[in-house]
Amino acid sequence: MMMAFTHAVFAVMATTVSLQTSHLATLLFAGLGSQLPDVDTSRSTVGRLLFPLSNWIESRFPHRSLTHSFVATLGVAILFLPLGWINWEYWHGLVQGYFFGWFSDCFTKSGVTAFFPSQARLVVPGNPNMRLSTNTPAEWIFLGICISILCVSLNINSSGGLLRAFNVWLGTPGGAVEIVNQELDDYELFAEVRGRFRASSQSVQATFQVIQAVNSSDLLVTDDRNLYQVGTSNNNQIISRRVVIKRGRPVKAQIKILSVQNQLILDEIPETARITGDLLVEDAFGLVNRPQVTTFNPVTLVFLGNNQAQIRFVAATPATVRRFVGDRLVQGQLIARYYLPLAKPAVGGGKS
């Protein structure tokens, strides 16, 4: 046999790895599910709590037979389907906890009838001397390994999951872009960049706030004064060797679409917003856009003739947009993106 605590730890460990979750309620359901297979004996804790059921099963089926099988796991999955209406992750946690709860008994000396109603027993490993017995040094070692894996898995999952941890380790610009695309709507993100300025070849080792992903290998970032395109493309201001993404506070992204006819009004747009889009200017006299080499220029100006021009904004601040447009007559569409902070503080400071 195996201690109930070992059943629970193994099931929770296996569930957090398989579901890549650190959600407490889900893992509690996994721990609960891990105890249910032992309802086939009235001597277990769950058997005493559910004595009428355990007594009925115990009088008809041997221990570690019916309830320790794939058939029983399917039955539990069907029986607890209503739990999925509340939260499907809770259902997954309970079902996987049940499965891993009885599967851990495969490592004991007598094994389980996993393929019930077949009486063939599944026992791992093949060497009887390496199988577990209750409260022996071997079980304590097994428990210690499970706890260690559980701690590592919880740390990885609370920081964003295995893929995120892998991208942290690699530090590739492409991996950073992938995580930015996944998390930019939910967190303020910061990029730890190592590389060099393209224009001067001066080395860079600094942290920037992430504005957006540009393509599959490049990011747009800011140091609160200037914008920089960072990544591996030749037209970037910063050519990066390593980019590590860190989470800041949780936020909620807000998108506001501005259809502009005649006069541009940005009174309802916060100054922290970033604005992207095209405007057609009827009176382009006096418009000047000075080229920039060392920083990213959020404004592109194209003269069309007949005193008209097209202004293209990419992640420009409202102040920049006002400075170019002024009181001119314009038409077009702009997209303003900004964040609302959430009351819940950031947890874990995950990396990528």
- Pair (326, 188) in one structural domain: no
pLDDT(53) > 80? yes
Q: Tell me the whole-structure pTM to 2 decimals.
A: 0.60
- Pair (135, 183) in one structural domain: no
How many separate domains does the chain show? 3
Whether 346 is covered by a domain: the verdict is no
- Pair (182, 153) in one structural domain: no
- Pair (240, 144) in one structural domain: no
pLDDT, average across residues 180-197: 93
Tell me which long-range contacts 113-119 makes (C-beta under 8 A, separation of at least 24): 113/64, 113/65, 113/66, 113/68, 113/69, 114/68, 114/69, 114/70, 115/69, 115/70, 116/65, 116/66, 116/68, 116/69, 116/70, 116/71, 116/72, 117/71, 119/65
| Eight-class DSSP state of 112 | B
- Pair (118, 141) in one structural domain: yes
What's the pLDDT score for residue 130? 67
Q: Residue 125: helix, strand or coil by DSSP? A: coil
Q: Which of 215, 235, 251 is the last residue of a domain?
A: 251
- Pair (263, 243) in one structural domain: no
- Pair (139, 30) in one structural domain: yes
Whether 106 is covered by a domain: the verdict is yes
- Pair (67, 132) in one structural domain: yes
Give the span between the Cα atoms of 190 and 209, in whole angstroms: 4
A 10 A CB-CB count for 178 gives: 18
- Pair (74, 8) in one structural domain: yes
Q: What is the CA radius of gyration of the chain?
A: 30
Give the span between the Cα atoms of 257 and 244, in whole angstroms: 31
- Pair (148, 177) in one structural domain: no
Give the span between the Cα atoms of 37 and 46, in whole angstroms: 9
pLDDT(229) > 90? yes
Whether 113 is covered by a domain: the verdict is yes
Tell me the pLDDT of the chain averaged across its residues. 87
Whether 123 is covered by a domain: the verdict is yes
Cα angle vertex 130, ends 124, 133, to 5°?
Answer: 90
- Pair (110, 234) in one structural domain: no
Give the span between the Cα atoms of 231 and 171, in whole angstroms: 11
Q: Which of 190, 194, 249, 258 is nearest to 224 (CA)?
A: 190
Q: Residue 105: helix, strand or coil by DSSP? A: helix
Residue with tokens 């990011």: 219
Give the span between the Cα atoms of 268 and 313, in whole angstroms: 18
Give Cα 301 to chain centroid, integer Å.
Answer: 39
Q: Which of 158, 193, 216 is the last residue of a domain?
A: 158
Q: Which of 244, 299, 247, 309 is nearest to 276 (CA)?
A: 299
**CATH code of the domain covering residue 220:** 2.30.30.690
pLDDT(7) > 50? yes
pLDDT digits (tens, 9 = 90+) for 294-313: 999 999 999 988 888 999 99
Whether 348 is covered by a domain: the verdict is no
Q: Which of 158, 184, 219 is the last residue of a domain?
A: 158
What's the pLDDT score for residue 20? 81
Amino acid type, 333: Q
Q: Residue 120: helix, strand or coil by DSSP? A: coil
Whether 193 is covered by a domain: the verdict is yes
Confidence grade of residue 143 (pLDDT, cut at 50, 70, 90): confident
Whether 350 is covered by a domain: the verdict is no
pLDDT, average across residues 185-193: 93
Whether 274 is covered by a domain: the verdict is yes
- Pair (29, 97) in one structural domain: yes
Domain hosting 278: range is 253-340
Confidence grade of residue 153 (pLDDT, cut at 50, 70, 90): confident
Q: How far is CA 221 from CA 125, 150, 347, in A?
A: 53, 36, 23
